[in-house]
Amino acid sequence: MSGFELTEEQREIVAAVRDFVDRDVVPHASDFEHADEFPTQMVETMRDMGLFGTTIPEEYGGLGLGLDTYAMIIMELSRGWVTLSGILNGSFIAAWMIRLHGTDEQRQKFLPQLASCEIRAAFSMTEPHAGSDVQSILMTAERDGDEYVLNGQKMWVTNGWRSGLIMLLAKTDPTTDPPHKGMTGFIVEKEPETNPDGLTIPMPGLKKLGYKGVESTELVFDDFRTPASSILGGEAGIGNGFQYFMSGIEAGRVNVAARGAGLAEAALNDSLQYAQEREAFGKPIGHHQAVQLMLAKMATRAEAARLLTLQAAQKKQAGGRADLEAGMAKYFATEAAQENSTDALRIHGGYGYSLEYRPERYYRDAPLLMIGEGSNEIQQLIIARRLLERHKV
Ligand SMILES: Cc1cc2nc3c(=O)[nH]c(=O)nc-3n(C[C@H](O)[C@H](O)[C@H](O)COP(=O)(O)OP(=O)(O)OC[C@H]3O[C@@H](n4cnc5c(N)ncnc54)[C@H](O)[C@@H]3O)c2cc1C
């Protein structure tokens, strides 16, 4: 683990996830992905292993493990199929935000449900016209007695249909300047797989290049009522939603970095194997220098992605600001995933283009990682801003 010492507990859980991925995920993931089928059985195994509660404290029924362990688990899952980490991520971010910013009552109510996977969660900021520019969202939440009335449209909500709660960002005061001061987070409860009064979730969800098997949906709110008690952080949370969601997404960036590191490793592993099996000009293609150069670059990227991700996870876990580390890890690891999946395709030659082999899936799954949880262009802006702050002259 190059520089990162694992405790016995970490070693055990990561090994158990690795076994699960090798046994139940790797052999079947492409079939599920091609059929765009939700992996019910795999999710049940993940639930039984306690993975939905990895970072939730034991007092709420979770495993109480750190973000670094979570990142290692995500790397393993993504090595098998990136979609599995997307299914886990909604619950992870929701639990992270509720633990840090929720009221006692919200923690008592939701953390045990999330840890046991009795409910799964979604995270919803993006709207049809606004992704990177979060402050320009239009979704409104207007107070009416003990309730808030939600109106507006959300876009690209992973787990939108099957989730039982949605971490939702809305404007409780659309007139403030700067706009983020009028933004508030809500923990919206709903019955999974239904359209409750005032909320329409068009299904089947949005059609995608990759990241299949988990639904990405729109959410159309039309006078949807949620109790005032669903404000993340209670009354004190009014106007703090932007800050809470940015903190949540920073933890989410470690998750996406870990997905990138896992995918980069999967592409490398498949290529190492294929390069020794496939022969051209009388020898395995791995004995040709051009292929060796690719393998060397792939391995270096995968290892660097892993280390940056674990470093960011530890920094974020320690509390305080980790935007520089999370930004670097997310940027580097997801670009590494993209580059390694392209190289895996090259190394597999014509078979790389075939649905019989896995690189085509990696190649379609990788680009989302460069876009989601803040695009890689935005990560570079964050990194540069932070560096300029640090090195002010
Ligand atoms: C499959 C999938 C799942 C998703 N899941 C979720 C989810 O669960 N919850 C959720 O809230 N969102 C989700 N998203 C949305 C995702 O977070 C956004 O797509 C992402 O933040 C980018 O926003 P955008 O698509 O509006 O692109 P835009 O913000 O319109 O950006 C378009 C391009 O312009 C660039 N750009 C924008 N602003 C700048 C700038 N200031 N400087 C330089 N370049 C800039 C971007 O980098 C990008 O290249 C998901 C998206 C996808 C595709």
The runs of H, that is alpha helices, within the chain are 8-20, 29-35, 40-48, 67-80, 82-101, 104-115, 241-277, 289-317, 323-347, 349-352, 359-371, 376-390
Burial profile 4-15: b = 16 or more Cβ within 10 angstroms, e = fewer: eeeeeebeebbe
Q: Give the pLDDT score at 3.
A: 59
Q: Give the pLDDT score at 1.
A: 44
**pLDDT at residue 169 above 90?**
yes
Q: What are the tens digits of pLDDT across the range 17-55?
A: 999 999 999 999 999 999 999 999 999 999 999 999 999
> In ligand 1, which atom is closest to the CA atom of 130?
26
> In ligand 1, which atom is closest to the CA atom of 158?
8
Closest by alpha carbon to 199, among 160, 156, 142, 143?
160
> What tokens does 180 get?
């983020």
**Catalytic one among 235, 373, 377, 389?**
373
140 in Cβ contact with 174 (< 8 Å): yes
The residue type of 130 is A
255 alpha carbon – ligand 1 mean position (Å): 16
Other beta carbons within 10 Å of 291: 20
Q: What are the tens digits of pLDDT across the range 302-346?
A: 999 999 999 999 999 898 789 999 999 999 999 999 999 999 999
DSSP state string for 119-165 = S-EEEE--BTTBSS-GGG---EEEEETTEEEEEEEEEEEETTTT-SE
> What tokens does 1 get?
């683990």
Dihedral of alpha carbons 107, 110, 112, 116, sign: negative
> What tokens does 285 get?
């293609």
Task: Show the domains of the chain with their CATH numbers.
Answer: 8-115 (1.10.540.10), 121-238 (2.40.110.10), 243-390 (1.20.140.10)
CA distances from 259 to 27, 36, 244, 327, 368 (A): 19, 19, 23, 14, 11
Q: Whose CA is nearest to atom 24 of ligand 1?
A: 131
Mutate to test the pocket of ligand 1, among 120, 156, 167 (most ligand atoms within 8 A of CB): 156
Q: Give the pLDDT score at 18.
A: 98
Q: What are the tens digits of pLDDT across the range 56-78?
A: 999 999 999 999 999 999 999 99
Which positions ≥6 away from 349 have C-beta within 8 Å? Answer: 278
Contacts 24+ apart (CB under 8 A), 283-287: 285/347
- Binned at pLDDT 50, 70 and 90, residue 6 comes out as confident
Once rounded to an integer, what is the mean pLDDT over residues 213-241?
98
Q: Is 279 helix (H, G, I), strand (E, B) or coil?
A: strand
Q: What are the tens digits of pLDDT across the range 116-149?
A: 999 999 999 999 999 999 999 999 999 999 999 9
Does the active-site annotation cover 373?
A: yes
**pLDDT at residue 381 above 90?**
yes
With 0-12 / 13-18 / 19 or more C-beta atoms within 10 angstroms meaning exposed / middle / buried, residue 103 is middle
pTM higher than 0.75: yes
With 0-12 / 13-18 / 19 or more C-beta atoms within 10 angstroms meaning exposed / middle / buried, residue 85 is buried
Burial profile 269-288: b = 16 or more Cβ within 10 angstroms, e = fewer: bbbeebbeeeeeeeeebbee
What is the DSSP-derived secondary structure letter of residue 240? -
Find the residues whose C-beta lies inside 6 A of ligand 1.
123-126, 131-133, 156-158, 208, 211, 216, 368, 371-372, 374-375, 377-378, 381
> What tokens does 208 get?
């995608």
Q: Whose CA is nearest to atom 32 of ligand 1?
A: 132
